[in-house]
Structure 1
Amino acid sequence: MAPMALALILGWCLVAANRTQHLPRPSLSLHPSQGVSVGNNVTLRCHLPQPAAWVQLCEDEAMTICRSKLDVRDTAEFSIVSTERKHATTYRCQYWVLWLPGSSEQSDPVELVVTDQSLPPPGISLSPEECVEIGTNVTIRCWIQDSGAIFLLHKGGRTAPIQRQDSDGLGMASFTLFQVTASDAGTCRCSYRPKDDPLVSSPLGNSVTLEVTPTPAPPAADGGSHGNLVVAVVRCCVAALIFIVGLFFILDARSLQIQRAQAQVGKGFQIFYPLEIPQTAPSLPVIPNRPPENPA
């Protein structure tokens, strides 16, 4: 009897362990989503696929600095009041289900970026400065006095930076936009993060405006619909003029041909009258002479 009970207990433990391995992973979100400035509040939310007896939010992958919530139905909220630079790190969460040993897998990591307003903002320049045509390469340069920084390029209307780059030995980074399109137009700004504290950010610097103009159209299309109408009218007039000139030449040639024909007829036509035969008396027959007849 005892071996059977032990087998049942071991079977239950194996089933429980198997169920633990397949616990759905939670997800973690940050509010506000793009970080927070020093002194402001931020909230991290661990979203659970099922009710949990215990939820943990930890600041590092080793899960050594953690906060906990008990008896959570679907979302566990962890608030950080008056954020400091030390709170700028990577967070993960996981949960435990009642009556099952072990925990779920850790959520995907979320980085909390803390903006320190005491850091000097970076400078920025745009080359070329004037409006550029579509297809042109544009260079945006960011700089600070400290050479040990990571620069980020931000575009107006987007929450996340569009490019990042380590600074060179002079504290500068050059971002190149190849063959710009109309969608690249807008304002650009820079920020940076110290290399020894990569989740602490400077405030955004001044902005530059990138203006992108369409490539000039062929001359025939410059006038738009009005130009097309003018071209059509000119073509009609030219066609009518060619027709009139052609008709004139045809009529002139026809008239010349008729005149030549009449001239040839005038020269070659002569009136012939019948020859006059002189009217003479009809000739009488010649009667030979004979002697006169004697009277009876």
Structure 2
Amino acid sequence: IIRPVFTARPKATVTIQPADPVFTGETVTLTCDIGSGDDWYYEWFKDSKSLGEAQQRKEYTISKVAASHGGVYTCKGRQSTEPRYSETSNAVTLTVSERPKPAVSIQPDDQVFRGEAVTLRCDIQGGGVSNWQYSWFKAGSSTAVSYKQQYSISSVTASDGGTYTCRGAVRGTSRYSHTSEAVTLTVSERPKPAVSIQPDDQVFSGETVTLTCDIQGGGVSNWQYSWFKDGSSTAVSYKQQYSISSVTASDGGTYTCRGTERGTSRYSHTSDAVTLTVSEKPKPELTSSHKGAALIGNPVVLYCKLDQSAGWRFYWSKHTQSPENETKTETHSYTISSVSVSDGGQYWCRAGRGTPVYYTHYSDALWINVTGTTRSDSLTVSPSRAQHFSADSLSLSCEGQSDSTGWRVRRYTHSEKVSDCSSGLGSVTGSTCSISSLSTSHTGVYWCESESGESSNPVSITVTNGSVILDSPVHPVTEGDPLTLRCLYRDPKPSNLTAEFYKDGSLLQTQTTGEMTIRTVSKSDEGLYHCKHPEKGESPQSWISVTGASFSVFSLLSSLMAVSPYLLVTIVLGVKCYRAQARPDEENKQ
């Protein structure tokens, strides 16, 4: 009896390269290994269904794997000899995942200050991979700057700023994740706050004070502010503006501020210290431009002196006024342009600033005495106009005085001194001063003065090197009279005489004849006048006064203010000094 020989049926084994899982788009190869003999025909199954196209191939390759290729794979072999079939292989699962893309985060922020610590973190979710090798790249370089999941810089500098990306590689393979989106790290200088104090760093008890902390730069808009006093580590306020509604001496001291970005630990530099000084409520000193009695018609200027004058307005009152009717000025002076008897009396001043207004104490009272003595008003000027060309001649005469004996022409100009004709101004004949060749240094105020100290009303003379002057009266115009103004020209005279006439800077008229006439002068016509020619240019300004409208030295000097503010100030000071020097001589003659 011949007994058959039975050979054990071999078992197929399936392997997958690359190792499971795989990313979409990769090439995947499944290998069916039976191990005995090479004359096998192979059959592949996915999810227990035959893959007909894969018959007779030991390797089943998918060139661009997609999610639809995922599943359970098996294989078995068939041959012509016994055993004719292998056993079916063990089942292997092919998992197809999307290639993951890293997410990058920066702590504490993507905008940091120089010297701060920064950490960039690369997180890769999905893909079924747990053994990533991380790589960090900075724009402009192909070499990785770090191979750790967290890239830390302990103290950033400006050179660390830039654009960063990260990528993951499966350890031991050449398989990669996508590259992350780029993130930009901005490194700025740590900003330093600037502190300001309103109304001033020297304030008075009871005032409202506001300290403001201003932080520019650094790329931060959500600061949390902290105020510190006298070096204390405990903040006195956490607002950008630290207000003290009614300061006391205890609020004085040095203050600093600092900013911290809300929600982070980032902070600015500390500001420079500012010192707040709190003094007792001040009391101004009230003085007058006149010593002794003031003449009727003269100007009187009151001065409210306050050492610390930043931001103050000044308030003036008289014994006939109630406090709510105080006169307010922006400057520390108050002018009575033409004193009358009713202006005599007792005056006070005080200052105020801020909102609500903080007031100083009232000054001591000052008495203004007014005397009825008046001045003569006749100084004859030839040519009789207020403006003159340089190199022209001019005659000024006191001969028209009721008693011309002992009268002389005096002036005050840029020289800052009171002088008369005999001191080099011109030639003297009796009470007449003749100037043969004018220069701009002759611009000033002129008047007649007697040996006894009596003086006429002053007049303003302006001398210009320009090509145009305004022919305007040197003395006040009587209300109701006509007034004609002309534009005069230095040779050669223009063929076109059309001129524009201005009052207080505003155009009044344009006249082809070069002159304009006001038929009936009124008080409202007082002001600063000048004319302008389209080719020759414009004249200086001159003040035209109307009698009955408080003509005074003050209104005269207003014309000089337009020509030379410096001259106006020096005239006031010079006349005060001159009168002070003259007073002892007058007393000696009595």
With normalisation by structure 2, the TM-score equals 0.18
Higher strand share: 2
Higher helix share: 1
The higher relative CO (CA closer than 8 Å, separation ≥ 6) is in 1
* Bigger Rg over Cα: 1
